[in-house]
C-alpha cells in the first residue's frame, strides 16, 4: 500500500489563464473572517463549475490568491481576488458564472486580467461613520484636535512579547472629516500591503480611548486600494 | 424600534467568530413567514461548530422544508461571550434564518446526542425566554420535542420536554407535523394535540406515564395514565432505506466547523455487536443504500456545496456488501472533480491492500485502531472481534509503506477487566514499537510515534452491558497508574480521558426521572456547556446531587439484576431484553458472538424492518461469493 505514490493530477495542466476579480463584501458577509472568507470563495469557485486551474502538487486545490485582507467588520466594494482557469473564457462570462453562486453579501463586481503586482499595493482608503456618545460636532472638534497632535503613539506587541511604542501619526492621511446629523463621517487613507498595514480600528481606538468617547456601531467601508502614486490597483 | 437584525448586529463585532450568529449561509432556507403554517426550530444543544456538523439536522431540515407551508430553521447554543451579551441586551435566543425568537415557533426541537449536552437544552430555552419546565409552559409556548440516540433513555430529561421521538425521524416527523397542522387549524390545545400525537408510532409523551419506585430505590412500574398511550413505545425504523429522503442541499457554513465537508450516508445499523457499543444496537437492523443512490447523492451535494472533500458516513463503511464496487465508482467521480474522498470507520479486518490502493490518499496522516481492550480474552468479553495478529499485520504493511504514526484507542473499566488486561495495553503498544524497528530503515518512515488513548467505559442502556457497574474513580485511577507503570518506551505516548465527565455520563445515561431535579439544580448553579473542559464544573454538579439527596453510585456503580425494571423499559428498540441477557452471560464467559453477516444470532429484530441480513437463512460463504 501507499508505495506507488503519484500526484493525483497525473496530467499536468500547462495552460493557465490568469483572472482578477473585484468583489464586494458587505451586510451579513461582513462578519466572515478573512481566513473563512478564503474558504468560502474557494467553494463559490467550485460551485460555479468554471474550469478552474488547480495547484499541481500532491493535494491539488483551487489556486486562489488574495493580495489584501479585509478586516472583519469592514465592508468593501473594491476587494481583489486572483485565480486562474485552464481555458480562456470571456471576462463577462466568468463574472456571471461566479456571481450566480455567491451568497447574500458577496458580489462579483468585475473580472479582468491582472495589471499590477500584489507588491505594488501601498494604500487603502476608507469611509468611516459612527454615532459618538457625545454631540457629533464636539466629537469632530476633538478629532481635529487629535489630528493636529505631533505624535500619536500606540502600543504594539512584538514577537518577543514586549511592547513597543509606535507613532502612527505620519501614516494617517485624512481626506475629509465632517458631521452628518448625529454621526461623524471620516475619510482617510492608510498604509496597506505587504510592507506596512494600518487598520482603521487601531486609529479609532486610539482616538476613542484618548478622549473617553464611546460609540454605537461603526460602519467602515473600504473605498479604494491604491498604488504608491495614488492610482487604483487593478 | 430597531429590528432584531440591527440589535444582533450591534453585538457581533464584540464576539468570537460572529459569522456563527447571523445566518445567510448558502443552502439556508428562507421563507415568507406569512405563507407558512408550521414553524419548527431545530436546535442543536451545543455550539454552531459542533452542531453544524451533525448529519441528522441536515436531513430533517431538508425534509421539513420540502413542504412549502412548513419552515424549519436552525438554532445553536451560543458561546458564553455571545450568551452574556444576549442577556445583557434583552435579546431572546433566535433561529438563524428568520432571526425570530424561539418562543414564536410552533415546535422547538432538540437532538440529544450526548449526555453532557443536556444542560444546554435548559440554557437555550431560558435564553429564548421559554420556561424550562414543561409543566410551566402554557398553550402560548412552543411544543418542545426531543430526538436522537440519547432519547433511548430520556427519563432524566422528561421534566423539560413535551414529547420525544423514538428512533429514526424521517417518517414520524412528517406524521407529527401533519397532525399538528390539522389540529392547529381547528384551534386545539397543546394537551389535545399531545393526546392525539401519542397514537403515532414512535411518539413518547412522558407526562402520560407514571413511574413508581421500590423501597430500594429501583423502578417498580411504568404505566400509561391515559388510554391513548401505548404501554410500550416502539422505535421507528426506515425499512426502505435506499429510498429514504436525503437532502440535495446542505447549509454551507462560513466559519470552519468540526466536519467541514459533504457527507453521504451509505448504511445504517451495524452487523458487529460489540457489547459496549450503544450505536451498534439502537440503530439495528443493518441496511444500506445502492451504489447508484450513493453516487448520485455524492455528486449532487458536491455540486451544490462546492466542498473539496466528501466523507462517507456510517458505523462501519467497510461492511457495505459491495464496498469495492462502491469505492471504485466513487473514486472515479471524486478524482475527476479533484475532490478528496474521506473514509472514516474503516475496520482493520477489511483493510485490504486492494481497497487501500483505490483510496490511496497521499496524505500520510497515520493509522488509527480501536482494539478497545489490551488482551484477547478481554476483547472476547466485549465481542470486539479483532485479533492482535490482525493489528500487527496491518501495522507492518503500513510501516513498510512509510507510515510512522499509530494511534490506539482503548477503554478502561470494562467488565471483568483485570490489571493484567491493563498491562496488555502497554504490551500491545510495545509490540507495535518492536515491529517498527524490525522493518528495514529504508522502507519505514521517520519518527515513530505510538499513541495510546484510553477512555473510561460508560455502560449504556440497550447494550449487553446495561447491567454492569461502572468502575469507581479509585479503580480507574489505579488502572491508569498501572498502565503508565507498564509503558517503558519513549515512543509510546499515553493520554487518558477526564474521569469526571465519565461519571456524569454514566449517571445520566442510565438515570431515571428523579435526576430531572439534579439537572435543574446544576443548571441553576451555572452548569452548561459541560462537554467543554473549560466550562465543565464537576464540583457544582456534585453539590447539586447532594442537595437533591441523590447518590451517583446508585446509578453509576451498582450492578443491576437482569429482572430489575430499567427506567427505559417502556421503550422498545426492537432488540430483545432476552438477547441482552444472553449476551451479558456470554461476555462473562468470554465467549464471542458472530456478526450478522456470518449468521443471525437472534437479537429479536424482525425481517420486515428491512435488514440486509435479517430473517434470511444464509451463511458467510454465500454472502462472500455474492460480492
Q: Look at the alpha carbons of B292, B297, B298, B300 in this order and tell me if their dihedral is positive or negative.
A: positive
| DSSP letter string, chain A | ---S---S--S-----EEEEEEEEE-GGGGGS-HHHHHHHHHHHHHHHT--BPBP-SSS--B-EE-SS---TTEEEEEEEEEEEESS---HHHHHHHHHTTPPTTEEEEEEE---S-GGGEEEEEEEEEEEESS-HHHHHHHHHHHHTSS--EEEEE-TTS-EEEEE-GGG-EEEEEEEETTEEEEEEEEE-SSS----HHHHHHHHHHHHT--EEEEEEEEEEEEETTSPBP-
B575 pLDDT above the threshold of 70: yes
- Total domains present in chain B: 2
pLDDT digits (tens, 9 = 90+) for B458-476: 999 999 999 999 999 999 9
At residue B627, the pLDDT reads 37
* Average pLDDT value over all residues in chain B: 92
Q: Any idea which of A206-210, B196-200, B354-358, B362-366 has the lowest mean pLDDT?
A: B362-366
8 Å CB contact between A174 and A186: yes
At residue B620, the pLDDT reads 41
Section B272-291 average pLDDT = 96
SS3 B219: strand
Enumerate residues 69 to 98 of chain A having a beta carbon within 8 A of any beta carbon in chain B: 72-73
Q: Could you list the pLDDT tens digit for every one of the 234 residues in chain A?
A: 344 445 555 556 678 999 999 999 999 999 999 999 999 999 999 999 999 998 887 777 889 999 999 999 999 999 999 999 999 999 999 999 999 999 999 999 999 999 999 999 999 999 999 999 999 999 999 999 999 999 898 888 777 778 888 899 999 999 999 999 999 999 999 999 988 889 999 999 999 999 999 887 889 999 999 999 989 999
CA nearest to B181, candidates B36, B338, B345, B344 = B36
pLDDT digits (tens, 9 = 90+) for B370-397: 899 999 999 999 999 888 898 888 888 8
Which chain A residues are within 8 Å of B401, Cβ to Cβ? 1-3
CA nearest to B410, candidates B428, B425, B430, B432 = B425
What is the C-alpha separation between B340 and B334, in angstroms, rounded? Answer: 6
**Is A47 close to B308, i.e. CB distance below 8 A?**
no
At residue A158, the pLDDT reads 77
Section B212-231 average pLDDT = 97
Q: B405 — phi, psi (to 5°)?
A: -120, 125
B350 pLDDT above the threshold of 80: no
What is the C-alpha separation between B99 and B566, in angstroms, rounded? Answer: 42
Do the domain assignments include residue B203?
A: yes
**Is B306 close to A44, i.e. CB distance below 8 A?**
yes
B110 pLDDT above the threshold of 90: yes
pLDDT digits (tens, 9 = 90+) for B492-518: 999 987 688 999 999 999 999 999 999
CA nearest to B397, candidates B430, B432, B370, B371 = B432
Alpha carbon of B403: minimum distance to chain A alpha carbons (Å) = 9
Section B168-184 average pLDDT = 97
Section B187-215 average pLDDT = 97
Q: Which domain holds residue B413?
A: 364-509
Residue B317: partners with Cβ closer than 8 Å, 6 or more residues away: B266, B267, B323, B343, B344, B345, B346
What is the C-alpha separation between A58 and A72, in angstroms, rounded? Answer: 32
Section B398-427 average pLDDT = 91
What is the C-alpha separation between B359 and B382, in angstroms, rounded? Answer: 31
At residue B616, the pLDDT reads 59
B145 pLDDT above the threshold of 60: yes
CATH of the domain at B500: 3.30.750.200
Do the domain assignments include residue B191?
A: yes
- pTM greater than 0.90: yes
Full set of structural domains in chain A with CATH: 17-114 (3.30.70.580), 119-227 (3.30.70.60)
Nearest by CB to A1, from B252, B335, B397: name it.
B397
Domain limit, last residue, from B509, B525, B558: B509
What is the C-alpha separation between B500 and B494, in angstroms, rounded? Answer: 18
Q: A146 — phi, psi (to 5°)?
A: -60, -40
pLDDT digits (tens, 9 = 90+) for B73-82: 999 999 999 9
At residue B341, the pLDDT reads 86
At residue B353, the pLDDT reads 64
At residue B497, the pLDDT reads 77
At residue B621, the pLDDT reads 42
At residue B37, the pLDDT reads 97
Residue A162: partners with Cβ closer than 8 Å, 6 or more residues away: none
Do the domain assignments include residue B477?
A: yes
**Is A59 close to B340, i.e. CB distance below 8 A?**
yes
B437 pLDDT above the threshold of 60: yes
Section B303-330 average pLDDT = 90
Alpha carbon of A61: minimum distance to chain B alpha carbons (Å) = 7
At residue B348, the pLDDT reads 54
Residues of B with CB under 8 A from a CB of A: 9-10, 12-13, 17-19, 21-26, 252, 254-256, 260, 303-308, 335, 338, 340, 353, 356-357, 360, 362-364, 397-398, 400-403
Domain limit, last residue, from B214, B234, B254: B234
Do the domain assignments include residue B58?
A: yes
CATH of the domain at B84: 3.40.50.280
Do the domain assignments include residue B71?
A: yes
Q: Any idea which of A192-196, B27-31, B178-182, B591-595 has the lowest mean pLDDT?
A: A192-196
H-helix or E-strand containing B191?
Answer: helix B190-197
Do the domain assignments include residue B183?
A: yes
Section B138-159 average pLDDT = 97
Cis preceding-peptide flag for A23 (omega within 30 of 0): no
8 Å CB contact between A53 and A86: yes
At residue B625, the pLDDT reads 40
At residue A215, the pLDDT reads 87
In chain B, whose CA is at the least distance from the CA of A40? B254
At residue B443, the pLDDT reads 83
**Is A1 close to B357, i.e. CB distance below 8 A?**
yes
Do the domain assignments include residue B175?
A: yes
Residue B382: partners with Cβ closer than 8 Å, 6 or more residues away: B274, B275, B276, B372, B373, B414, B415, B587
At residue A1, the pLDDT reads 39
DSSP 8-state class, residue B594: -
8 Å CB contact between B156 and B145: no
ipTM of the complex: 0.86
pLDDT digits (tens, 9 = 90+) for B238-260: 999 999 999 999 999 999 999 99
B229 and B369, same domain (yes or no):
no
What is the C-alpha separation between B162 and B183, in angstroms, rounded? Answer: 17
Do the domain assignments include residue B298?
A: no
Domain limit, last residue, from B234, B268, B301: B234
Amino acid at each position: 500500500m501507499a508505495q506507488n505514490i503519484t500526484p493525483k493530477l497525473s496530467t499536468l495542466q500547462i495552460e493557465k489563464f490568469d483572472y482578477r476579480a473585484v468583489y464586494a463584501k458587505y451586510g451579513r458577509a461582513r462578519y466572515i473572517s478573512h481566513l473563512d472568507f478564503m474558504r468560502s470563495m474557494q467553494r463559490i469557485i467550485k460551485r460555479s463549475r468554471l474550469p478552474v486551474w488547480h495547484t499541481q502538487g500532491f493535494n491539488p486545490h483551487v489556486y486562489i490568491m488574495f493580495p489584501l485582507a479585509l478586516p472583519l467588520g469592514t465592508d468593501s466594494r473594491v476587494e481583489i481576488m486572483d485565480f486562474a482557469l485552464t481555458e480562456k473564457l470571456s471576462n463577462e462570462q466568468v463574472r456571471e458564472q461566479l456571481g450566480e453562486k455567491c451568497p447574500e453579501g458577496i458580489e462579483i463586481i468585475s473580472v479582468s486580467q491582472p495589471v499590477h503586482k500584489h507588491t505594488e499595493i501601498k494604500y487603502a482608503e476608507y469611509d468611516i461613520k459612527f454615532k459618538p456618545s457625545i454631540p457629533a460636532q464636539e466629537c469632530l472638534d476633538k478629532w481635529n484636535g487629535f489630528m493636529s497632535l505631533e505624535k500619536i503613539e500606540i502600543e504594539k506587541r512584538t514577537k518577543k512579547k514586549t511592547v513597543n511604542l509606535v507613532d502612527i501619526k505620519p501614516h494617517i492621511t485624512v481626506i475629509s472629516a465632517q458631521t452628518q446629523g448625529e454621526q461623524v463621517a471620516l475619510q482617510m487613507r492608510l498604509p496597506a500591503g505587504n510592507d506596512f498595514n494600518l487598520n482603521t480600528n487601531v486609529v479609532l481606538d486610539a482616538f476613542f480611548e484618548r478622549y473617553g468617547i464611546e460609540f454605537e456601531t461603526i460602519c467602515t467601508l473600504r473605498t479604494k486600494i491604491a498604488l504608491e502614486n495614488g492610482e487604483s490597483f487593478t | 424600534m430597531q429590528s432584531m437584525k440591527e440589535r444582533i448586529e450591534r453585538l457581533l463585532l464584540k464576539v468570537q467568530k460572529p459569522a456563527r450568529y447571523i445566518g445567510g449561509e448558502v443552502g439556508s432556507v428562507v421563507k415568507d413567514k406569512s405563507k407558512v403554517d408550521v414553524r419548527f426550530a431545530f436546535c442543536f444543544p451545543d455550539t454552531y461548530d459542533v452542531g453544524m456538523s451533525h448529519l441528522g439536522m441536515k436531513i430533517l431540515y431538508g425534509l421539513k422544508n420540502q413542504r412549502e407551508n412548513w419552515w424549519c430553521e436552525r438554532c445553536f447554543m451560543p458561546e458564553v461571550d455571545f450568551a452574556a451579551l444576549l442577556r445583557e441586551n434583552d435579546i431572546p435566543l433566535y433561529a438563524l434564518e428568520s432571526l425570530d425568537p424561539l418562543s414564536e415557533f410552533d415546535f422547538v426541537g432538540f437532538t440529544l446526542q450526548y449526555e453532557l449536552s443536556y444542560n444546554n437544552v435548559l440554557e437555550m430555552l431560558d435564553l429564548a425566554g421559554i420556561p424550562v419546565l414543561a409543566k410551566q409552559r402554557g398553550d402560548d409556548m412552543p411544543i418542545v420535542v426531543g430526538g436522537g440516540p440519547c432519547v433511548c433513555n430520556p427519563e432524566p430529561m422528561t421534566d423539560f420536554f413535551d414529547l420525544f421521538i423514538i428512533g429514526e425521524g424521517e417518517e414520524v416527523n412528517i406524521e407529527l407535523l401533519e397532525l399538528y397542522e390539522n389540529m392547529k387549524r381547528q384551534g386545539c390545545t397543546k394537551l389535545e394535540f399531545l393526546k392525539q400525537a401519542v397514537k403515532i408510532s414512535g411518539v413518547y409523551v412522558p407526562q402520560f406515564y407514571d413511574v413508581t419506585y421500590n423501597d430500594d430505590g429501583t423502578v417498580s412500574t411504568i404505566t400509561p395514565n391515559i388510554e391513548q398511550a401505548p404501554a410500550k413505545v416502539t422505535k421507528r425504523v426506515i425499512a426502505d432505506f435506499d429510498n429514504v429522503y436525503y437532502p440535495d442541499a446542505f447549509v454551507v457554513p462560513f466559519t470552519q466547523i468540526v466536519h467541514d465537508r459533504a457527507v453521504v450516508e451509505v448504511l445504517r445499523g451495524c452487523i458487529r455487536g460489540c457489547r459496549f457499543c450503544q450505536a451498534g444496537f439502537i440503530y439495528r437492523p443493518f441496511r444500506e443504500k445502492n451504489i447508484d443512490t450513493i453516487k448520485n447523492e455524492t455528486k449532487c451535494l458536491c455540486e451544490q456545496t462546492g466542498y473539496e472533500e466528501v466523507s462517507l458516513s456510517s458505523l462501519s463503511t467497510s461492511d457495505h456488501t459491495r464496498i469495492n464496487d462502491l469505492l471504485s465508482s466513487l473514486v472515479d467521480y471524486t478524482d475527476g472533480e479533484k475532490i478528496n474522498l474521506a473514509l472514516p470507520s474503516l475496520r482493520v479486518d477489511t483493510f485490504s491492500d486492494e481497497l487501500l490502493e483505490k483510496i490511496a490518499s497521499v496524505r500520510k496522516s497515520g493509522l488509527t485502531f480501536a482494539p478497545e481492550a489490551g488482551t484477547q480474552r478481554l476483547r472476547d468479553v466485549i465481542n470486539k472481534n479483532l485479533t492482535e495478529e490482525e493489528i500487527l499485520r496491518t501495522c507492518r504493511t503500513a510501516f513498510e509503506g512509510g507510515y510512522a504514526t499509530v494511534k490506539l484507542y482503548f477503554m478502561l473499566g470494562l467488565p471483568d477487566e483485570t490489571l493484567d488486561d491493563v498491562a496488555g495495553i502497554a504490551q500491545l503498544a510495545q509490540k507495535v514499537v518492536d515491529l517498527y524497528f524490525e522493518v528495514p530503515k529504508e522502507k519505514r518512515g521517520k519518527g515513530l510515534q505510538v499513541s495510546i488513548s484510553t477512555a473510561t467505559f460508560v455502560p449504556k442502556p440497550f447494550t449487553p452491558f446495561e447491567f454492569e457497574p461502572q468502575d469507581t474513580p479509585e479503580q480507574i485511577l489505579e488502572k491508569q497508574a498501572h498502565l503508565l507503570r507498564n509503558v517503558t518506551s519513549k515512543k509510546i505516548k499515553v493520554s487518558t480521558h477526564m474521569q469526571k465527565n465519565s461519571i456524569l455520563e454514566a449517571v445520566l445515561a442510565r438515570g431515571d426521572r428523579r435526576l430531572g431535579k439534579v439537572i435543574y439544580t446544576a443548571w441553576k448553579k451555572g452548569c452548561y456547556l459541560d462537554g467543554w473542559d473549560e466550562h465543565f464544573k464537576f464540583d457544582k454538579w456534585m453539590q447539586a446531587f447532594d442537595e437533591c439527596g441523590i447518590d451517583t453510585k446508585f446509578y453509576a456503580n451498582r450492578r443491576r439484576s437482569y429482572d430489575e425494571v430499567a427506567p427505559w423499559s417502556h421503550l422498545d428498540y426492537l432488540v430483545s431484553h432476552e438477547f441482552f441477557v444472553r449476551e451479558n452471560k456470554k461476555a462473562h464467559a468470554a465467549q464471542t458472538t458472530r456478526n450478522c453477516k456470518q449468521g443471525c444470532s437472534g437479537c429479536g429484530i424482525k425481517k420486515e424492518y428491512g435488514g440486509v441480513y435479517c430473517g434470511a437463512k444464509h451463511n458467510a460463504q454465500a454472502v462472500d461469493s455474492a460480492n
